Amino acid sequence: MNQDRKKKHHLDSSFQLKIGESTVLEALKRFCRAIVEVFGERYLRTPNANDVARLFQVGEQRGFPGMLGSVDCMHWKWRNCPTGWGGQYSGRSRSPSIILEVVADYDLWIWHAYFGLPGSNNDINVLESSYLFANLAAGTAPSANYVIKGKSYNMGYYLADVIYPKWVTLVQSIHDPRGPKKQYFAKKQEACRKDVERAFGVLQSKFAIIAGHARLWRKEILHDIMTSCIIMHNMIIEDERDINAPIEERSEVQDVGVEMMNDGGIEQFLARHKKIKDKDAHFELRNALIDHLWDEYTNSEN
């Protein structure tokens, strides 16, 4: 019997695949680069008109008409950060890290991913550097029309933490809500905003390589690794998505043309950029959402 066990062990060990460390790393780099090149256009696209319509419908069902998802950042600790960059990439944790900014929706699909800023930056610095609102400022984003309390709006928004700036495209919670209306709004906003936090958790649980410390030296390789993990995450979401969910898809949409940057183009770009950062419009939108949530989901009065 012992001889049989030894024979079986010998046969099992003979089929083990032995690869050198350098070969494994090279295979990893080529695999990630191939994933990005082949599938990036589909699984890292910005929302088109049909996507916006779907997101708006789900957002309205959850009490937030015009919501496109939730935005937040996470830090990927960089163990092999070059010594000369240590101070630049070290934040409050005093450990070098690289920041990932994402937008996730209700089923954890990641629509936007911006990776690469040093960990010493905060969420506001990352937002200012990223291209999240580039299409909107350029006038090439799909139309986004919705109504709250009888007033029409034409720019979608993302739910965000209180650290984010007060822009019309970002709806924050209320740090210290006073009164039942604001308390109810804060509760609903924070519940929906957990979508992006759940997306981070699911992403790290699926791919151990980004759950631990980054162990490579070159940032462009780390970028490919992170991007390929996000692409494969979206592939899994697509495969597991309930295709029978009661969400209406728009079969006919109008293409959005790209505006040329002519004499008036620069002025229009600056005007749209200023509109995105309109603080008064931010508070107006948030107050409208506070009233909408209270009127639609409670039977109480002021």
C-alpha to C-alpha distance for 296 and 207, rounded to whole angstroms: 40
The boundaries of the domain holding residue 100 are 26-239+264-297
Q: Which residues contact 66 (CB under 8 A, 6 or more apart)?
A: 56, 59, 144, 146, 148, 153, 155, 156, 157
Q: Which helix (H) or strand (E) holds 15?
A: none
What residues are paired with 191 via a beta bridge?
none
Mean predicted lDDT score pLDDT of the chain: 84
In this predicted structure, which of 19-28, 53-62, 76-85, 291-300 has the lowest mean pLDDT?
291-300
What residues are paired with 77 via a beta bridge?
97
Residue type, 108: L
Q: For residue 3, give both structure tokens.
A: 């001889």
Q: SS3 helix, strand, coil % of the chain, rounded to 5?
A: 50, 15, 35
Q: For residue 6, give both structure tokens.
A: 């030894």
Q: For residue 175, give both structure tokens.
A: 């740090």
Residue type, 278: D
Q: Tell me whether residue 153 is in a domain.
A: yes
Average pLDDT rounded to a whole number, residues 123-152 = 87
Q: Tell me whether residue 103 is in a domain.
A: yes
Q: Which residues contact 248 (CB under 8 A, 6 or more apart)?
A: 53, 54, 57
C-alpha to C-alpha distance for 70 and 216, rounded to whole angstroms: 30
Q: Tell me whether residue 250 is in a domain.
A: no
- pLDDT of 214: 85
- Please answer whether residues 119 and 75 qualify as being in contact, where contact means their C-beta atoms are separated by less than 8 angstroms: yes
Residue type, 6: K
Q: Tell me whether residue 5 is in a domain.
A: no
Confidence bin at 260 (pLDDT 50/70/90)? very low
Q: Tell me whether residue 18 is in a domain.
A: no
Q: Tell me whether residue 63 is in a domain.
A: yes
Average pLDDT rounded to a whole number, residues 238-246 = 66
Dump pLDDT digits (tens) for 203-225: 999 999 998 888 888 899 999 99
From the list 152, 108, 112, the residue with the least C-alpha distance to 132 is: 112
- Best-predicted range by mean pLDDT among 80-84, 88-92, 195-199, 276-280? 195-199
Q: Tell me whether residue 82 is in a domain.
A: yes
Q: Measured between alpha carbons, how far apart are the two ends of the chain, in Å?
A: 82
- The number of distinct structural domains making up the chain is 1
Q: Tell me whether residue 205 is in a domain.
A: yes
C-alpha to C-alpha distance for 120 and 80, rounded to whole angstroms: 16
